Amino acid sequence: MPSGQLDRATDKAPVIIITLASVHDKLTVLRARKGLQGTQLGLDENLTLAQQAQKRTDWATFKEAKEAGERVYWRGADLYINHKVVNSPTT
């Protein structure tokens, strides 16, 4: 399959992983991702399997806090509510 084309067998777009030279470059790219709304492109951080599991575990807490009007955001797999880390304990 040529690079950048949709895999018709699975209907999944190809994943492209990039490495940036600095944290500043990473933040610049992540801040600019809002400009991708309405397109078929998206950006996300490359998390380990443990981090992905942690994020799935904390997703319900994220949604509840957001609906309650709290300041909620992710940094990697860490969930912040009102600028404090509130991750569930991992097993």
56-72 pLDDT per residue, tens: 899 999 999 999 999 99
Per-residue pLDDT band at 91 (split at 50, 70, 90)? very low
Tell me, yes or no, whether 53 and 81 share the same domain: yes
Q: Which domain holds residue 81?
A: 49-85
- Number of structural domains, the chain? 2
The answer to whether residue 3 scores a pLDDT higher than 70 is no
* Pair of tokens at residue 84: 């404090």
* Same-domain pairing of 55 and 36: no
Distances (CA, A) of 66 to 32, 34, 50, 62: 22, 18, 24, 6
pTM across the whole model: 0.54
Task: Say yes or no: 76 and 58 in one domain.
Answer: yes
In a domain, 91, yes or no: no
pLDDT tens profile 16-39 = 777 888 888 888 888 888 888 888
Q: What is the pLDDT at residue 64?
A: 95
The answer to whether position 42 is within a domain reads yes
Evaluate whether residue 19 is within a structural domain: yes
Distance (Å, whole) CA 69 – CA 14: 35
